[in-house]
Amino acid sequence: MSRRFKASKYKNAAPKTMKHEPWVRDLSVGSYNCSSSYIKASAAFVAFNINPTGSQLGVVALDSDGTSHSILNAHSDLVTDFDFSPFEDGLLATGSADSTVKVWCINGDQLGDLSTLSPEVVTSSKHRRVENVAFHPTAEYLLSYSSQNSINLWDVLYNKELLHGKT
């Protein structure tokens, strides 16, 4: 009867907690009007909505100390969705209620002042609010975005629309 349960070999083990130095903290993330992502990350950067109107994004480099962030003045209206490219860490696409999709190229060198950064590509959804933005996970430079009842595929490299479909 005394041998019914085996003694655990982990009974005196204690978890190791991370030190607080590599953590990014005290970020005001989110907008009540945002329809999709509040925060997205690549292998080098983290982007997030920072103000209630939602027209600006905060960007933090993952190799920084995490105490400060840069502000990207992305759109004139609410940023509804954004996504990083899975192939290039600094390639960020943003969609907005101002009916535009913008693709930004963020470098670690210019991260201190993103307020003057201009977009590499600007597309229009023809007077409709852009709801979702997503890079293709396996095809490089292929971006999709949707607005109301249509979906668009965009080639970011050649700045050309590949498909415009209605549902």
* Residue 17 binned pLDDT confidence (cut-offs 50, 70, 90): confident
* Residue 50 binned pLDDT confidence (cut-offs 50, 70, 90): confident
In angstroms, the CA 60 to CA 21 distance is: 15
In angstroms, the CA 68 to CA 59 distance is: 9
The reported pTM is 0.78
Q: What are phi and psi of 49, to 5 degrees?
A: -70, 135
Task: Show me where the domains of the chain are located.
Answer: 39-130
* Residue 67 binned pLDDT confidence (cut-offs 50, 70, 90): low
In angstroms, the CA 156 to CA 2 distance is: 69
Please give the residue that has the higher pLDDT: either 14 or 101.
101
For 13, residues 6+ apart whose C-beta sits below 8 A from its C-beta are none
Strands 79-84 and 70-73: unpaired
* Residue 114 binned pLDDT confidence (cut-offs 50, 70, 90): confident
| Structure confidence at residue 76 (pLDDT) | 84
Judged by average pLDDT, the poorest of 63-67, 95-99, 119-123, 152-156 is 63-67
Tokens 């990083």 -> residue: 84
> Chain-centre distance of CA 95, in angstroms?
11
**Using one digit for the tens of pLDDT, what is the confidence trace for 80-108?**
889 999 999 999 999 888 888 999 999 87
